[in-house]
């Protein structure tokens, strides 16, 4: 009987030893893989910050102007336009990662294909996919919620153009960083654009932000796009000053992101980093 109990105790101890070893293994992966830490802290922090500001916006608006505005229209329009920006960014960064994971990135750049040709192809593909996605989301909003995004009229075109430019800039930046430091930080393809969301005034006006964060938002083109959208929906006015500021900052960021991408690409080709990306 005592022997049987000893065997049971030994089996149980071995089981917990294996469980503990596997637990420590996965725990150590958090230290070695930044994406795991991002899953633990980055996404929860973004959610708390964004929806905290949304709550402040709703509470303050209801207290100051009962019954207004139409939050459904504001939020639906914001969701559609934000997805537009997010998809533009991903069409560049994720397309690059697809080539990396397919082990075709070296073959591509070993051919006569130039970097501008590579980027142009990804951007054109993104525009086609974006058109289909936006049409689908607009149709869903119209059928299920009777919200017509095209009530923005002419304002819709410069809004969309600015979000596309910003998406391309962020996409180029993400690809350049991944190219330089490897796919261990591939999570940037999804997390980098979200970093801009709290200061982009997607679901709430910039007046909800703390003063110091409001100053930061002035240098985020998406902030002026969404503030402009709200102005058209709520007052019917088009803020030309916001449009010009968004265009100016977008062009500057596109130039910086493009220059940084080309510099990283030259470094990666010279040091053979393209063959080491996994």
pLDDT tens per residue across span 45-68: 666 676 667 666 766 665 555 555
**Residue 157 reports pLDDT greater than 80:** yes
Instruction: Compute, in degrees rounded to 10, the torsion defined by CA atoms 224, 225, 226, 228.
Output: 80
Instruction: Give the residue-averaged pLDDT of 78-96.
Output: 84
**Residue 193 reports pLDDT greater than 80:** yes
Higher pLDDT, 167 or 79: 167
**Residue 17 reports pLDDT greater than 60:** yes
Nearest to 253 by CA among 189, 175, 162, 179: 162
Residue 45 CA, distance from chain mean position = 15
190 token code pair: 């999804």
Q: How confident is the model at residue 138 (pLDDT cuts 50, 70, 90)?
A: confident
* pLDDT given at position 21: 74
DSSP codes of every residue in 36-89: HHIIIIIHHHHHHHHHHHHHHHHHHHHHHSTT-S-HHHHHHHHHHHHHHHHHHH
127 token code pair: 């525009």
Place of tokens 């430019």: 165
Q: How confident is the model at residue 254 (pLDDT cuts 50, 70, 90)?
A: very high
**Residue 120 reports pLDDT greater than 80:** yes
Give the 3-state secondary structure of residue 187.
coil
Higher pLDDT, 127 or 102: 127
What are the C-alpha distances in Å from 139 to residues 46, 150, 156, 226, 229? 29, 11, 16, 21, 19
Neighbouring C-beta atoms of residue 264, cutoff 10 Å: 20
What are the C-alpha distances in Å from 21 to residues 14, 27, 40, 81? 10, 10, 22, 47
Q: How confident is the model at residue 75 (pLDDT cuts 50, 70, 90)?
A: confident
Nearest to 206 by CA among 186, 190, 225, 187: 225
Higher pLDDT, 78 or 174: 174
Considering the chain, what is the average pLDDT of its residues?
A: 79
pTM here is 0.78
């Amino acid at each position: 009987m005592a022997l049987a109990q000893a065997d049971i105790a030994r089996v149980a101890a071995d089981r917990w030893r294996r469980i503990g070893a596997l637990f420590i293994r996965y725990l150590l992966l958090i230290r070695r893989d930044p994406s795991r830490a991002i899953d633990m802290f980055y996404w929860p922090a973004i959610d708390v910050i964004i929806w905290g500001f949304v709550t402040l916006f709703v509470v303050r608006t209801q207290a100051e102007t009962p019954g207004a505005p139409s939050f459904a229209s504001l939020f639906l329009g914001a969701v559609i336009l934000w997805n537009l920006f997010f998809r533009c960014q991903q069409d560049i960064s994720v397309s690059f990662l697809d080539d990396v994971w397919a082990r075709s990135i070296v073959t591509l750049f070993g051919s006569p294909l130039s970097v501008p040709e590579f980027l142009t192809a990804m951007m054109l593909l993104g525009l086609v996919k974006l058109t289909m996605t936006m049409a689908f989301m607009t149709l869903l909003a119209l059928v299920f919620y009777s919200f017509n995004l095209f009530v923005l009229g002419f304002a819709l075109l410069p809004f969309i153009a600015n979000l596309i430019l910003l998406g391309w800039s962020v996409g180029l930046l993400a690809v350049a960083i991944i190219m330089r430091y490897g796919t261990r930080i591939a999570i940037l393809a999804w997390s980098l654009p979200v970093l801009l969301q709290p200061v982009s005034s997607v679901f709430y006006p910039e007046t909800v932000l703390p003063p110091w964060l409001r100053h930061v938002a002035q240098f985020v083109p998406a902030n002026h796009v969404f503030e402009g959208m709200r102005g058209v929906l709520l007052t019917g006015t088009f803020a030309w000053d916001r449009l010009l500021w968004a265009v100016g900052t977008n062009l500057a960021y596109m130039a910086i992101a493009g220059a940084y991408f080309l510099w990283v690409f030259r470094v990666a080709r010279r040091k053979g980093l393209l063959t080491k990306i996994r």
